[in-house]
Structure 1
Amino acid sequence: MHCFVYASQRKADTYLWLDRRDHFDVLPAPLTLLLGDLRFVLEVELHPERRLPREDVEVVMQNLRTQGWHLQLPPQETLATPPSEPEPLMEPKRQDE
């Protein structure tokens, strides 16, 4: 399956895959507004054995077949959380209490 990839100029690390070059009329209006201007970055042939760095090729191909487009969002950023503070130790009771 031949497809075309565009980078969103408004959303970093967000890519739009299309089944035909410049076939933007298949996109829902809210998505078009969200992505803003698009820059063509890649023309690629997809097949089930092809490995993609951040996407499942089967999902991309299915979306292209059914709706004509696939949206690749940035990877989820994980925020490192500081280790939790240990529970405060209870002070031993004094014998005169």
Structure 2
Amino acid sequence: MLCAVYKTRKKEGMYLYVPKKDHFEDVPKPLMDMFGRPELVTILALDKHERLGVVDKQKLVDELKDKGFYLQVPPKEENLLETHRESLGLSKMPDKKF
């Protein structure tokens, strides 16, 4: 099974997988509007890859078959200041003084 992988300039680490090059018919319009102009990154032969980085291969294959696309969203970035404050036993955000 082949799939085409596209990136967006709107969000670092967000990728759209579709079953063939330029096949966006199954992608909902609001998602395409949010994604912006897709830029082709690569075409993958899924059968030749056991692992696909952070993407669950079976979930990718299932969603391509069921929905006609798969959207990879970057993991939520950790707020290091909040983590540090919590480790000190403080609230996540300092109290604002007016």
Asked whether the two chains share a fold, i.e. TM above 0.5, the reply is yes
Alignment partner for residue 88 of structure 2, among 79, 84, 90?
84
| Cα shift at 1:41 | 0.5
What is the TM-score normalised by the length of structure 1? 0.80
**Greater gyration radius:** 1
* Runs of 5+ unmatched residues, structure 1: 87-97
Identify if the C-alpha distance between structure 1 residues 42 and 48 changes in structure 2 by more than 3 Å, giving closer, same or farther.
closer
| Cα shift at 1:49 | 6.0
Identity %: 31
Match of 1:43 in 2: 43
| Cα shift at 1:19 | 0.4
Match of 1:17 in 2: 17
Q: What count of residue pairs does the alignment treat as equivalent?
A: 86
Match of 1:26 in 2: 26
User: How large is the Cα RMSD of the aligned pairs?
Assistant: 1.8
What is the TM-score normalised by the length of structure 2? 0.79
Measure the CA separation in 1 of the matches of 2:68 and 2:10: 21
Structure 1 runs (4+) greater than 3 angstroms displaced: none
Q: By percentage of residues, which structure has more helix?
A: 2
| Cα shift at 1:84 | 2.4
